[in-house]
Amino acid sequence: MTAMPLRSLPPAHRPLADALALGPALLERARSSAAPWIAASLVEGPAVVLGAAQRAGRVVDLSACAARGAPVLRRATTGTAAFLGGRGVVWTLALPHVAALAPDATARTLLNRNVRGFLRGFARAGAPAHYFGREWISLQHRPAALLGVDAAQDGAVLLEVLAGHDAPPAIPAELAAPDERAVDRWRGKAPAALAEVVPARVSPEALAGAVIEAVALHAGLPLADGGEAPELALARFQPITAPDDPVPPGAGAVVLARVPIGWIEAAAAAAVDGAPARAWLGGDVLTARWLLDALGRGASPASLDASPASLDASPASLDASPASLDASPASLDASPASLDASPASLDASPASLDASPASLDAEAAPLDGARLDDLRALVQRALSAGRAPER
């Protein structure tokens, strides 16, 4: 049986808000077509792109960003913030289920398995790429591309990769809030702009296309033209002006806790009509937004209590051997065989979309950078610290 193709939108210049809104739109297309979708957007900064669950004022100084002319926007995927200092690329990959490109992928390994095609694409463009777990891809041994992820309970997955061409993805110190400056996001390494690690002959447009082609090649899927871009819902992707965004209005005091990826935070939500106490829960973790919502509501099904869903013990917990590509081909036209020092390390068997969708429950939900116990404990701290008044 012929595998369903990976449908793509060709690389295109888009306003940053449009590029971010493309994620939910392609996720809906992936659901409705039962096929994976990919796109690349060429964007312009300066701007800061927050993860879906990061509180703005804990990450950046909004006044300093405004003075710099760098709007702060929020993407649909969780994880940490990226800075776009000039030209940049946002890749959007939407999957109908976690195993749509890699047959052995699960919700717990979805980043590790699905990042491999991106590694191959960067390598084909002349930048050896590695992924050692968590939230960034290394090019030429320097952090250069940031990852964001979201997953729905029906198993659909959204993955975003953001990289700056003219400036590294790290938020400049003068724009960062004190809590953000306290975190070593890059494990002691100096982040890189694409222009520093990709050969000068490779334009952002060429790199964007090379990565799309490599994702399809790595999955063993044909690449098909996706036609016209979808209609975009832009309201939620406008610049942020409130430091507490996205904490709900009327919430109690925000409490924070350090975790391996940075910070998690929570606040008691305002009680409504005698409803059970609940909390807003957010932070830097890479996880499903529905899981944060469920924990904030105090959900404690057996699946949540079975065992902590933790992927933070070490990068190796994501995979026995890091996904990496060490080849550095001389040109974009290099033979694919020259990129695979050990083909077996890449998924040899084509990714078939006939695999049964892996729907997600709380026990299997993706979670990297904190444990379920950490998140539950912070919710309880927030509820104890100060319940918001009823309204």
- Give the least confident one: 172-186, 211-225, 341-355: 341-355
Check residue 328 and give its pLDDT: 38
Check residue 324 and give its pLDDT: 43
Task: Give the residue-averaged pLDDT of 248-273.
Answer: 92
Rounded distance between C-alpha atoms, residue 283 and residue 260, angstroms: 12
**149: three-class secondary structure by DSSP:** strand
pLDDT at 13 over 70: yes
Task: Give the residue-averaged pLDDT of 71-93.
Answer: 98
Count Cβ atoms within 10 A of the Cβ of residue 337 and give its class: 0-12 exposed, 13-18 middle, 19 or more buried. Answer: exposed
- Give the mean pLDDT of the chain: 85
Rounded distance between C-alpha atoms, residue 287 and residue 284, angstroms: 9
Residue type, 246: P
Length of the chain: 391
User: Per the confidence metrics, is the pTM higher than 0.75?
Assistant: yes
Rounded to 5 degrees, φ, ψ at 148 are: -135, 150
Q: Where are the alpha helices (DSSP H) in the chain?
A: 16-33, 56-59, 62-68, 110-114, 116-124, 178-181, 194-197, 204-219, 289-296, 302-305, 372-385
Task: Give the residue-averaged pLDDT of 161-176.
Answer: 98
* Residue with more model confidence, 308 or 230: 230
- From the list 9, 25, 63, the residue with the least C-alpha distance to 237 is 25
